[in-house]
Amino acid sequence: MTERGESVPETLPGLRAAVRGKRPRRSAKAEPVAETDPVARVLVDTPLAHLDRPFDYAVPASMADRARPGTRVKVRFAGRSLDGFVVARTVDTDHTGNLSPLLRLVSAEQVLRPAVAELTASLAERYAGTRADVLRLAVPPRHATTEKQPSPPEAQVSVDAASARAAWSAYPAADAFLAHLAGGGAPRAVWSALPGEDWPRVLASAAALTLAGGRGSVLVVPDRRDVTRVDAALTDLLGPGHHVVLTAGAGPARRYREFLAVARGTRRIVVGTRAAAFAPVHDLGLVAIWDDGDDLHAEPRAPYPHAREVLLTRAQLEDAAALVGGFARSVEAGQLLATGWSHEISAPRAALRAAVTVSMAGATDHQLERDPMTRATRMPKQVHDAVVDGLGRGPVLVQTPRRGYAASLACERCRTPARCGVCTGPLEVSGPAVPPACRWCGAVDEAWVCSVCGHRGLRAPVVGELRTAEELGRAFPSTPVVTSGGDHVAASVAARPAIVVATPGAEPVAAGGYAAVVLLDTWLALARPDLRTEEEALRRWLNAAGLAGPGAGVVAVGDPAHPALQALVRWDPAGFARREAAARTEAHLPPASRLATITGDPGAVDDAVTLLDRPPGTELLGPVETAGGESRMVVRVPRVHGPTLSRALGEVQRVRSARKLDPVRIQVDPMSL
């Protein structure tokens, strides 16, 4: 290729000859190359890690004006026709051989904006993956028919700044954040929402103020029900024509239509689930995530990025404001405050005390005197009294951590877990008149006999929301009982007396809030063998309690001395996050350290560990056998060496890919272990 400023050969042979430094040969069939920026740098869609970089191609003159950065093309690669994205147009190349021409321009639509292209590179390095994998998450599949349709023009907007700011009036520190945001700045904050807060409207207000300043926003929430609420709040605040909804379940045509509206700049606000974190918003001014501790924010496909990290990386790269909000506070959000990366937005303690009262069943001597079995009974008298009191004012929410009817069974006499006679799987009962059946193979066992004591009776040490609803229905026969969990999740309930039994994350929203909230079987939520067990349990309880209406009572059944339950009673997610962070620092666990897992066949894992260029302070934990029969090694380094570990793991992937070795699955900072 010629140096910058020199004349550009008019034909592809001329371009190739310039690269070789030879005189071009004449060819009647040769197609002229572009006169301006004749070289296209293309990210080719290939899963091979050692080929994860842009490749140079010659731009035919017929594509000169349309093969712009961000467009989709077809290229010849390793003897095959593959898809790719043009990421740059240049006048020169470092390639020393012949440059192949672009085969075809798939679409002139610029769907990969430069800022998003830079984001994919950063995330691929952060999570030891490939840019091709990240691009599949960032850019939805093309829908040709939709692409031919024009996007609707952006409607004129008039933002009532006073009304938008009023939504944040309960949080004194929000004034400085909103002023900075409206003025075009990039403030960063961790927001602890008040129980009963209409958080969708609060988020929408921040996006409205950002739009009033001429910039766009990306709002990411855990699931479709949350998207619907924020969608309604934005429409109510701004009217139609200013935002789009991006979710994976929207269907290919609708999803691509909404994506194009953002890419073309006719829509400036995006609300959606984790895929929306990559939305190509023009003039991005705000990224926000609600309930960042929810595991729905973690991408289950390689390279497994977390929506929180995607958004915070975007904020850093695009100089945008960042807002991490929720009723609970993740340890990672607490770390953002501890390091000074962000500031806290929270309500005064007096406002918290006025918003909700949380109590523990059997926490006082007086309660134990009234009901000596309070701590041994699943639904003690205090729960019954709370339900009766709440039903006098509206709906009552009862959260139970298990779905189904009787999710596990045991011998009535000796308490031995009941197992299937066919495959030794656990038995369960799915309804009041249904015989026990295996959760693994589905075999029905009507004549079950305990293998230890020979007894035929069964008991349910753990019951689900259906059995709980049945028990409450008998206790309150004149009150309607609504269940929400599993495949049947209710979005909302009316503001009239009813008992709503729901599993964590499936709680319907009550108009005006719940009159009372009951948290059952808290011991079960604390029994999971996981790094985040206590953090996740508290998050689930706070989210349920956050649905309570003004002045409602929350009653939890469990051990009053447990730190997570104490944090619930005090409504102190910030203090709990600090405590968890300190404990993890002592144990060298994230976020004080960077942690990665390498999973695969034992030989492949051993080889990957051998190839790893270990940063200083690296610890290897394992290998251990996973439930699927694979081998897993945990690699841990001090946080300061986290970027070095990610780069080293990426190099392992490239070396193994080039050698065509058996693949291993690498996850950096997995949500759980």
CATH number at residue 363: 3.40.50
Cα angle for residues 32, 33, 37 (degrees, 5° grid): 160
Question: pLDDT, tens digit, for every residue of 500-517?
Answer: 999 999 999 999 999 999
Assigned domain for 23 exists: yes
**DSSP, residue by residue, 241-302:** SSEEEE-GGG-HHHHHHHHHHHHTTS--EEEESGGGGG---TTEEEEEEE-TTSGGGB-SST
pLDDT score for 283? 96
pLDDT greater than 90 at residue 388: yes
Q: Are 265 and 284 in a shared domain?
A: yes
Q: Are 626 and 662 in a shared domain?
A: yes
Do the beta carbons of residue 516 and residue 535 sit within 8 Å? no
pLDDT score for 18? 44
C-alpha 550/C-alpha 547 separation (Å) is 10
pLDDT greater than 80 at residue 527: no
Q: Are 526 and 619 in a shared domain?
A: no
Q: Which residue among 108, 132, 149 closes a domain?
A: 108
pLDDT score for 24? 43
Give the pair of three-digit tokens for residue 462. Answer: 């753990």
Q: Are 343 and 362 in a shared domain?
A: no
pLDDT greater than 50 at residue 25: no
Assigned domain for 429 exists: no
Higher pLDDT, 425 or 596: 596
Assigned domain for 320 exists: yes
> pTM for this structure?
0.88
Assigned domain for 135 exists: no
CATH number at residue 643: 3.30.70.1710
Give the pair of three-digit tokens for residue 353. Answer: 């005390």
Question: pLDDT, tens digit, for every residue of 535-558?
Answer: 999 999 999 999 999 989 999 998
pLDDT score for 83? 97
Question: pLDDT, tens digit, for every residue of 197-232?
Answer: 999 999 999 999 999 999 999 999 999 999 999 999
pLDDT score for 17? 47
Q: Are 603 and 550 in a shared domain?
A: no
Q: Are 333 and 374 in a shared domain?
A: no
Residue type, 562: H
pLDDT score for 23? 42
Q: Is 172 left (phi over 0), alpha (psi -120 to 50) or beta?
A: alpha
Longest CA span, the chain: 102
Q: How many domains is the chain partitioned into structurally?
A: 4
C-alpha 188/C-alpha 293 separation (Å) is 18
- Please provide the average confidence, as pLDDT, over all residues in the chain: 89
Assigned domain for 502 exists: yes
pLDDT band, very low/low/confident/very high, at 430 (cuts 50, 70, 90): confident
- Name every residue whose Cβ is closer than 8 Å to that of residue 78 and which is 6 or more positions away in sequence: none
Residue type, 272: G
pLDDT greater than 60 at residue 1: no
Assigned domain for 117 exists: no
Q: Are 471 and 560 in a shared domain?
A: yes
Give the domain range for residue 656.
Answer: 593-668
Task: Name the helix (H) or strand (E) containing 179.
Answer: helix 174-182
pLDDT greater than 70 at residue 254: yes
Q: Are 629 and 658 in a shared domain?
A: yes
- Output phi, psi for 364, to 5 deg: -120, 160
pLDDT score for 4? 35
pLDDT greater than 60 at residue 401: yes
Measured CA to CA in angstroms, residue 5 lies from 8, 37, 38, 60, 313 at distances of 9, 11, 13, 19, 36
pLDDT score for 460? 67
Assigned domain for 438 exists: no
